[in-house]
Amino acid sequence: MNRSIAILGIVGGLLYGTALWRLNGVPHAGVVQEMQVALPRFVQVAMAGGDRYLAANMATWRALVASTENMQKDNYVIQGRLQADAAWLNPSHEDNFYVAAAILPWYGELEAAQYVLRRASESRPYDWQPALYYAFNIYHFERDPARAAQWLQRAAPKIPSENDRYMLEGIAVSWFEKGYQPATAVKVIESMAATARSGGFKKYLLVRAERLRSLVTLQEAGERYRTRYGKPIRSLQDLVDARLIAAIPVDPFGFGFDVNADGTPVLLTTRPKAKQ
Amino acid sequence: MKNAPNGAFFTLRTEIVRTFFLNTWLSGLRSRSFQAVFILGILLIGIAFLAGFFSPRQPKTVTLDVGLFGLRFSLVLLCLFWVQELVSKEIERRTVFFTLSYPVPRSHYILGRYFGILALAAVALLIEGLLLWLVVLVAGGQYQQQFMVALGLPYWVALAGIWVDVAVVTAFALWIATLSTVPILPLALGAAFAIGGKSLGPVHDYLAQGAEGDKTLVTTYLPALDAIQWVLPDLSRLDWRLWPMYAQTPNTGAMYWSVVMAVGYAALMLFLAVRKFSRREFS
Q: Which residue of A has its CA nearest to B203?
A: A42
> Cβ of A95 under 8 Å from any chain B Cβ?
yes
> Cβ of A122 under 8 Å from any chain B Cβ?
no
| Interface with chain B: mutation pick from A54, A61, A121, highest number of B CBs within 10 Å | A54
Please report residues of A whose CB lies closer than 8 A to that of B224: none
> Cβ of A124 under 8 Å from any chain B Cβ?
yes
Q: Above 60 in pLDDT, residue B220? A: yes
Report how far Cα B8 is from the mean position of its chain's Cα atoms: 29
Q: How far apart are CA A125 and CA A123, in angstroms?
A: 6
- Are B110 and B24 in contact by the 8 Å Cβ rule? The answer is no
> Cβ of B153 under 8 Å from any chain A Cβ?
no
Q: How far apart are CA B241 and CA B195, in angstroms?
A: 17
> Cβ of A89 under 8 Å from any chain B Cβ?
yes
Task: List the alpha helices (DSSP H) in chain A.
Answer: 2-24, 41-47, 52-65, 73-89, 94-103, 110-123, 129-140, 145-155, 162-178, 183-195, 200-229, 237-241
Bridge partner residues of A267 (DSSP): A257
pLDDT per residue over B103-143, tens digit each?
Answer: 777 888 888 889 999 998 998 899 999 999 999 999 888 88
Q: How far apart are CA A69 and CA B134, in angstroms?
A: 38
Task: Answer whether B202 sits within 8 Å of A45, measured CB to CB.
Answer: yes
Please report residues of B whose CB lies closer than 8 A to that of A92: 242, 245-246, 248
Ramachandran category for residue B11: left, alpha or beta (phi over 0 → left; psi -120 to 50 → alpha): beta
> Cβ of A176 under 8 Å from any chain B Cβ?
no
Q: Above 50 in pLDDT, residue A209? A: yes
Q: Above 50 in pLDDT, residue B56? A: yes
Which of A111-115, A189-193, B126-130, B263-267 is the least confident region?
A189-193
Rounded to the nearest angstrom, the minimum Cα separation between B251 and chain A is 14
Instruction: Using alpha carbons only, give the angle B4, B7, B8 rounded to the nearest 5 degrees.
Output: 80
| Interface with chain A: mutation pick from B63, B73, B149, B199, highest number of A CBs within 10 Å | B199
pLDDT per residue over A84-104, tens digit each?
Answer: 999 999 999 999 999 999 889
Cα diameter, chain A: 91
Please report residues of B whose CB lies closer than 8 A to that of A50: 194-200, 202, 235-236
pLDDT per residue over A29-66, tens digit each?
Answer: 554 555 566 678 888 888 888 899 999 999 998 888 77
Residue A245 has a CB neighbour count (10 Å cut-off) of 18
> Cβ of A51 under 8 Å from any chain B Cβ?
yes
Q: What is the ipTM of this complex?
A: 0.81
- Are B113 and B24 in contact by the 8 Å Cβ rule? The answer is yes
Task: List the alpha helices (DSSP H) in A25-144.
Answer: 41-47, 52-65, 73-89, 94-103, 110-123, 129-140
pLDDT per residue over B26-40, tens digit each?
Answer: 777 777 777 777 888
Which of A4-8, A266-270, B157-161, B226-230 is the least confident region?
A266-270
| Interface with chain A: mutation pick from B237, B246, B248, B249, highest number of A CBs within 10 Å | B246
A259, containing H or E segment: strand A257-259
Task: Answer whether B248 sits within 8 Å of A92, measured CB to CB.
Answer: yes
> Cβ of A144 under 8 Å from any chain B Cβ?
no
Q: How far apart are CA A250 and CA A248, in angstroms?
A: 7
